[in-house]
Structure 1
């Protein structure tokens, strides 16, 4: 069936090696569908597809996917894990201190017991028996009467009085609250995890009611049978849900969808790779809500009460505003945040909902190779796949702008005009003529020779243009020759930076002749899973150039997509020295293009000082890990702002006794307690305080924790919350 390109493998064939021009980006894919993966290890995801369908007997337990489907997901604030979420009140109720609660309960119990003893032993007279005497006949108390009835009536009356005393003194002593506080956590631990109650068939998600209501009952019955038999997992559910939405939107036909489901069952509309799950999972995912859980909001006074103890999650709805995570090495940026996000995006790509590009230094743990369709290891010998230096574009001006940003974006202040536009113009004056002459863009050595104005290279290009009678482009080449004679020409700096990529380690890469399989970011309208390893060791500056290149290509290609139904995500681990003014302008355009970037930094010092405030203002999600410096914390404190809080000032005032007995009592109290008799005066004020100060961020965030604030693409935002990333 037609699936809008989200489940089809296009442009996947390797290009010929004879120098033929490639007009479409190539997307490598596995040669054959892999074997069925093992079950994932993280709840609440359903298990992977078993090799053989189990036989469901009448007493067999339901597959986990059914309870996963039925679990409620109430609406919540951005960043809240909604799977089984129970909303909490916005404000913390008045909470009595534990010691005061216990002492009050003991005192109220003793008072109640004393009163009952006085009543029972008659020390207070028989007045409390008047109701009993009034409601019982005198014959029950006379000799020869039915005295047994009076005995039973007395027992009942005593029970009523005792119950009344328990209710009165129990409320005075807050016995119910004490029991809840002491035994409530134990009861909650003993209680088994509540599975979602089975709803009526008409509203049971496991019965696919929407398909039944809109003319696809056969497909719904087939999918329900697949789920009951254990042949369906959460990725299958999310993938088929997306295919069904394409039917409801009119992009695909109902008959084709039904036929595909009846023939393939849970494997319908599969990803081009043939996979239906990842080899293993390391985080908790909820593909119906498209969330990945990264931790739990700590029970901390700085956290809003409604967030304390609540799961924290990331999803495309908040990642669409981009995420910046700052923390020193070893603070958990990669293992606690980046890896779960990449894993979630890969699962959503298998469900046809996302395209993910994960970029990091060689050796960084962004997931196993089997979790990706393509792994590009730049600088490694015998590469399986290559990176397109020009982003798959055929427009020389666009290619020049992207390449100029990558080469000299961090040195724009050294160029005339203070930006990279002069560099882009210089590149365009060479890329346009070269493409017209050779029907492709130049290789790295060819472009370097042109930028260095090597006579042989310039003469060969001019001859090719004259043979093609491209007189307009000859004028472009002449203009480049005139500018090369001026002092401060941008081509000199471009050639020096390009020389970092013209190394023997990169000889097999960036080949535009079509002799290698290349990954192009122009294919972001497909559910791609790509990992790019940068050669940071030994080629640190080249690694930064390539990181800026991927970021520039992503910002350009994500916005230029004609089909933005897939969420495009770029994860850039260790993004130091890649943030430029042009990159920030590109990030600002991603929010409306259903795309987002995840950036990690060891410190804001890796960003030019003039861009640090702009960077924090551009991204909607900010994360400060344990160990940030106070000057980094000051930036976060400034962007998170202040809030109004209620403070209490307690002062002790010494009590002066007037009488002799009072003075004697005060002296005795001072001898016993060692403290003078004082009276406390409490002053309540409302003041404005920073949500998280620079000192708090630098010194009060425990190890394994981070302070996270999120903003959704709809404009909803959540305050900064201290998150325990280990839970």
Structure 2
């Protein structure tokens, strides 16, 4: 602002003191020579004085316009005035108008200083055009020019200060409409007063909720839940009326989660439940990051997780503490608002929150566990149950077709269900897979002769395969043996009392489920269960685009879970209102042929510090390249031809110790990797990660460094 003003004042003073070159030449160029004396701009009569005065006005207005444009005076004044209340803004612009009038019309206000060249140039122009002062000197013309000059000063101030709107509000007797910063979408009514309910006429319900909030009996989860239910009932008048009645009777507890919980026992991360976000870190102001994200907070929400997220980092890099735990906590809070369902899978030692934060806690292998896991996910169709089980048993075996394995399992599950009314337990299924022909014939005899022809045909086909070289029964039985251990004797339907939990419930209700996998010497069982749970989740969420809530599966250790079949199903989750979060210690836990498809399928990719170079290579290829400007500076020695120049160069080299050189600067566009394998392995500090994001709407954030500490 000030630099153009100082330059303008300098030019104006130079002009007033006749030190501005070519001013006289300009005036004499556009006027007759007989108006001037000699070769300068000395006026001979009143016409020359008039030209001088008019030229003063033109120079003054030109300097004002240039100073205002170069200094952005209009934008800066508007910025500061917009932050003021309307009465204060009107008062400040009124004061500016008085100052302007005092500078333009000091005689009318009986002030003793000289006026800026506004009025006199206009009067002299009128006199010059009319050929004398008989018109320009009349009181009517003089006062009209005064009014015009005053209008030129007052009108911009009135426009900027909003005098007209303030006057209309004063005439109507209303207070100025000042937007509440807490409720930009509802001027005059803060969000704490529930303007949506008041706009719909539910003033009593809004008063009840306002009182609940003021008394501290309502939290952010209640606000998000009630806001969501209100929006969901927009097209159902009956449901909305019932909801308003529940608000009047129950207040903030209306339409609560079926568990009765309205908050988690404890929180470890900052949340914004109205936006559905959880903050996990902050973007670092690094060279490779976009300036628009420098030092901005990083938050994740279901619309980002809906594209699925893959996090890779060695043990101790902070995957669980910095990412998985905050994400699970956020999804559990949103489940309390009815927005989603979550299944968190990890070892018993994983810090995924207390048991009280979940509706169902399944500790596989722990006799004290209240719940058991349904091996078949509540399926009644043998083919459906066999497909999920086959993916879990042999989905990771190279050269093994899960379709053939599913066929073998279906040939046993269907007849067994017809004979006993349920699917077999793990020991029984293993025995059937290893069975001799006479054992299967005994099962065949249990099938009714009428009404079970299809099942008899299935079992007879299985009988013909037993003992052949293509028999997959022993392979499946060998894989199933990992679950047929004494530790799991009371699980997977083996207990006397039924306490099985079906993952299918997650697709229908906003549930919070925690599944603890066995540790120690049961790593193969944990990997098998990872594959099984991922297959079940992908199967039960099919056709979920019309569900009211989304569903998420979080695998804190996804080792062994990624298979070709899982990847094919993972590509469809975006359209099924579902997502998966996969955490891996290294990409080596996934078959090498699946590295590229896995990174291409997930929308959000995260590489933690300490990543091996070969893992970094896969991320670098997935993130691709970008075009950047590269500046090259070359120094060339100057060889002089003239003796004097050579002597000067020799003297300069003797004094400085350096030869005389010239710089050649070359700027060109090149393609480089966004993050190279070496950068990912060695340039990511501890507590940081490189993260790229994709939104369900298709928006993307390029890979950038993020600080996950604190």
Band of TM-score, shorter chain: 0.7 to 0.9
1:245 aligns with one of 220, 231, 239: 231
1:574 aligns with one of 557, 577, 580: 557
In structure 2, relative to structure 1, the CA distance for the partners of 1:644 and 1:514 (3 Å cut) is farther
- 2:211 aligns with 225
1:626 and 2:612 correspond: no
Q: Is the 8 A contact 1:361 1:536 kept in 2?
A: yes
In structure 2, relative to structure 1, the CA distance for the partners of 1:661 and 1:468 (3 Å cut) is same
Separation (CA, whole Å) in 2 of partners of 1:198 and 1:568 = 31
- 1:594 aligns with 577
Spell out the pairing of 1:546-695 with structure 2 (5 A cutoff): 546-561=529-544, 564-656=547-639, 666=649, 669-670=652-653, 673-695=656-678
- 2:125 aligns with none
Separation (CA, whole Å) in 2 of partners of 1:279 and 1:580 = 36
- 1:97 aligns with none
Equivalent position SS for 2:298: strand
Separation (CA, whole Å) in 1 of partners of 2:666 and 2:471 = 69
Separation (CA, whole Å) in 2 of partners of 1:232 and 1:642 = 49
Equivalent position SS for 1:695: helix
- 1:208 aligns with 194
1:508 and 2:490 correspond: yes
Spell out the pairing of 1:133-172 with structure 2 (5 A cutoff): none
Separation (CA, whole Å) in 2 of partners of 1:423 and 1:583 = 15
Separation (CA, whole Å) in 2 of partners of 1:667 and 1:369 = 82
In structure 2, relative to structure 1, the CA distance for the partners of 1:718 and 1:512 (3 Å cut) is same
Q: Is the 8 A contact 1:216 1:254 kept in 2?
A: no
Structure with larger RCO (C-alpha < 8 A, sep 6+):
1
- 1:499 aligns with 481
In structure 2, relative to structure 1, the CA distance for the partners of 1:127 and 1:586 (3 Å cut) is closer
In structure 2, relative to structure 1, the CA distance for the partners of 1:663 and 1:205 (3 Å cut) is farther
Post-superposition CA distance 1:468-505 (Å, at most 9, x none)? 76233222211110111321211111111111111110
Separation (CA, whole Å) in 2 of partners of 1:390 and 1:251 = 40
1:464 and 2:446 correspond: yes
Q: Is the 8 A contact 2:630 2:667 kept in 1?
A: yes
Separation (CA, whole Å) in 2 of partners of 1:647 and 1:374 = 56
2:289 aligns with one of 295, 303, 313: 303
TM-score, normalised by the number of residues in structure 2: 0.72
Q: Give how far 1:277 is off.
A: 1.2
In structure 2, relative to structure 1, the CA distance for the partners of 1:665 and 1:311 (3 Å cut) is farther
Larger Rg: 2
Q: Is the 8 A contact 1:570 1:598 kept in 2?
A: yes
Separation (CA, whole Å) in 1 of partners of 2:615 and 2:256 = 45
1:292 and 2:300 correspond: no
Post-superposition CA distance 1:605-655 (Å, at most 9, x none)? 111121111111111111111111222111111111111111111112234
Equivalent position SS for 1:411: coil
Runs of 4+ in structure 1 displaced over 6 angstroms?
Answer: 126-129, 658-661
Q: Is the 8 A contact 1:440 1:512 kept in 2?
A: no
1:255 and 2:237 correspond: no
1:338 and 2:331 correspond: no
Equivalent position SS for 2:397: helix
1:446 aligns with one of 422, 428, 440: 428
Q: Is the 8 A contact 2:489 2:495 kept in 1?
A: no
1:424 and 2:410 correspond: no
Post-superposition CA distance 1:92-136 (Å, at most 9, x none)? xxxxxxxxxxxxxxxx9xxx9xxxxxx9xxxxxx9999599xxxx
1:278 aligns with one of 264, 287, 293: 264
Separation (CA, whole Å) in 1 of partners of 2:578 and 2:238 = 24
Equivalent position SS for 1:288: coil
Q: Give how far 1:212 is off.
A: 2.1
* C-alpha RMSD of matched pairs (Å): 2.9
Separation (CA, whole Å) in 2 of partners of 1:425 and 1:365 = 39
Q: Is the 8 A contact 2:545 2:577 kept in 1?
A: no
Q: Is the 8 A contact 1:356 1:570 kept in 2?
A: yes
Separation (CA, whole Å) in 2 of partners of 1:198 and 1:242 = 18
Post-superposition CA distance 1:363-418 (Å, at most 9, x none)? 111112121112111111232111110011111110000001101111151x3xxx
- 2:509 aligns with 526
Q: How many positions carry a matched residue from both structures?
A: 546
Q: Is the 8 A contact 1:384 1:517 kept in 2?
A: yes
Q: Is the 8 A contact 1:388 1:512 kept in 2?
A: no
- 2:707 aligns with 724
Separation (CA, whole Å) in 2 of partners of 1:717 and 1:572 = 24
In structure 2, relative to structure 1, the CA distance for the partners of 1:491 and 1:289 (3 Å cut) is same
Spell out the pairing of 1:364-443 with structure 2 (5 A cutoff): 364-413=350-399, 415=400, 419-443=401-425
1:329 and 2:311 correspond: no
1:317 aligns with one of 303, 308, 311: 303
In structure 2, relative to structure 1, the CA distance for the partners of 1:197 and 1:446 (3 Å cut) is closer
Q: Give how far 1:217 is off.
A: 2.7
Q: Is the 8 A contact 2:182 2:191 kept in 1?
A: no
Spell out the pairing of 1:102-181 with structure 2 (5 A cutoff): 130=17
Separation (CA, whole Å) in 2 of partners of 1:353 and 1:552 = 23
- 2:466 aligns with 484
Q: Is the 8 A contact 2:218 2:252 kept in 1?
A: yes
Separation (CA, whole Å) in 1 of partners of 2:494 and 2:337 = 32
Stretches of structure 2 lacking an aligned partner (at least 5 in a row): 20-63, 77-179
Separation (CA, whole Å) in 2 of partners of 1:217 and 1:683 = 70
Equivalent position SS for 2:377: coil
More helix as a share of residues: 2
Separation (CA, whole Å) in 2 of partners of 1:326 and 1:531 = 22
In structure 2, relative to structure 1, the CA distance for the partners of 1:240 and 1:704 (3 Å cut) is same
Separation (CA, whole Å) in 2 of partners of 1:475 and 1:447 = 19
TM-score, normalised by the number of residues in structure 1: 0.71
Post-superposition CA distance 1:507-565 (Å, at most 9, x none)? 01000788232221111221111111111321111111111110000000011448522
2:681 aligns with one of 694, 698, 702: 698
In structure 2, relative to structure 1, the CA distance for the partners of 1:646 and 1:293 (3 Å cut) is same
Q: Give how far 1:660 is off.
A: 7.0
Equivalent position SS for 1:244: helix
Equivalent position SS for 2:459: helix
Separation (CA, whole Å) in 1 of partners of 2:208 and 2:643 = 93
Q: Give how far 1:457 is off.
A: 4.6
> Structure 1 stretch 565-574 or stretch 246-255: which is displaced more?
246-255
Equivalent position SS for 2:262: coil
Separation (CA, whole Å) in 2 of partners of 1:633 and 1:362 = 30
Q: Give how far 1:465 is off.
A: 1.0
Separation (CA, whole Å) in 2 of partners of 1:421 and 1:695 = 41
